[in-house]
Amino acid sequence: MFTGSPIFVRMRTMGQHATHGGSWLLLAPGLVLTLMAIAILIWPELLAYMVATVLLFAGVSLTLWGWGLRQAQRRRSDVHTVYYQ
């Protein structure tokens, strides 16, 4: 019914192109997560290091973000605008 429509032809060709290399986009992270799970089972202290790394990264990121916002507010308040009436 819709096989002659250019929209459906385009969508069909896009789907065919996505399947050629798309399996690695799921396979590689799955293998990495599986290997990490096995490593945590073998070395349970590895989980503590991974959690500590995530918390450290989040803390440093939030600190730098807040510092950047504070610097932007200071720069904005230092600008003195003169209004002529």
Tens digits of per-residue pLDDT, 11-29?
Answer: 555 555 555 677 888 899 9
Q: Which residue has the higher pLDDT, 21 or 40?
A: 40
Closest CA to 50 of 32, 63, 23, 67: 32
Burial bucket for residue 40 (CB in 10 Å: 0-12, 13-18, 19+)? middle
What pTM was computed for the model?
0.57
pLDDT tens for 46-82 read 999 999 999 999 999 999 999 999 999 888 887 776 6
- pLDDT tens for 64-74 read 999 999 999 88
Tokens of 54: 């995530």
